[in-house]
Every structure is written in C-alpha cells, then in structure tokens.
Amino acid sequence: MKKIILIVDDDVDYLFQMKLKVEHFGFEVVTADGQAEAEELIKTLKPDLAILDLMMENEDSGFILSYKLKNKYPELPVIITTAVTAETGMIFEHSSETDKNWIKADLFLDKGIRVDLLEKEIRKLLNL
C-alpha cells in the first residue's frame, strides 16, 4: 500500500506543484488549503506523514496544526515548510528541549528545497 502524505498550504499553486512532486516519488497525496480544512480532514484521515506550510490563515498556523496532529497521532512525522528563512533571515530550529516541547515538528524545510533532497528527507522520516 502506498504511504499517504498530507500536504497543507494556502498557496494553491504551491500545493498543486508539491502534490505533483510527491506523487512522483510514489506516494499518495491528500491536500488541504489551510489549517481549517486540514483539521476537518484529519478527523477521518490518518496520514503517514504531513508537510505543513507555516504561515497560512495565521502566522503560526503550521505550528498549531502540527501540535494538533501530534496530539491525535503522536507517531506521525511532521515537516514544516517555510519561505521565511530565506527572506527574513529568521531561523526556526528546535535545537533546545523547550523548543522541542512546544514546536511539535520533526523537521523544518525551506520552501526552495531541491526535489531530490525533499524526497530523501521524506523517506528518512518514513524509515524507507
């Protein structure tokens, strides 16, 4: 059975293009266009991995969604993608233990990441 990847982003174009890429890696992709739709979706769907945009309805939608996902499915790997780092120089890392406690994400990726690296990271988190 194909692994299910949930991709959440409020930019429809980014969403479409990511879906295409991740399907090309050989996964099944389910998309949501924001935190609200994603929250609806996960009531009935259990993905194997989630890729979340950071800033959607709110500046921290990705964090909140990640928190909720991890509450429901503690083992689910979550990637948060952001364009923020490249443009503002703000770096989101969760090196300290306190950060790990409140930012429930396994990995932060820049939106401009190369396709092959993206695939590698996904496979690593899925233990494939």
Partner 1 sequence: MSILKILIVDDEPGIRSGARRILSNFKVDYPFMDEPIEFEILEAATGEEAMIIVEENTPDIVLLDNKLPGALGIEVLEFIRKKQLDIVVVMITSYASLELAVKATREGAYDFIPKPFTPQELRSSIENITKHIFLKRTTQKLNTAGKQIRFQFLSILSHELKTPLNAIEGYLNIIKERQLGDDIKNYEQAIERSIERVKGMRGLILDMLDFTKIESGKSTDKIEFIDIIPILQISLDTIKPFAIQKDVNVYLNTKDSVYIDFDKSQLEIIFNNLLSNAVKYNVENGRVDIWIKKIGDNIEITFSDTGIGMEESDIEKLFVDFFRIKNHQTKNITGSGLGLSITKKIIDLYKGHIQVSSILKKGSNFVLTFPIKQS
Q: Using CB under 8 A as the criterion, which residues of the chain lie in contact with partner 1 when the complex forms?
A: 10-14, 16-17, 20, 24, 33-34, 36-37, 56-57, 83, 87-88, 111-112
- Which amino acid makes up residue 15? L
32 or 79: whose CB is closer to partner 1? 32
Q: How far is the CB of 119 from partner 1 (least distance, A)?
A: 15
Q: How far is the CB of 76 from partner 1 (least distance, A)?
A: 24
Give me the phi and psi of 28, to 5 degrees please: -90, 135
74 or 112: whose CB is closer to partner 1? 112
Q: Tokens 């059975």 label which residue? A: 1
Q: How far is the CB of 88 from partner 1 (least distance, A)?
A: 6
- Which amino acid makes up residue 84? V
Q: Which two tokens stand for residue 27?
A: 């996964």
Per the CB < 8 A criterion, the answer to whether 64 and 89 are in contact is no
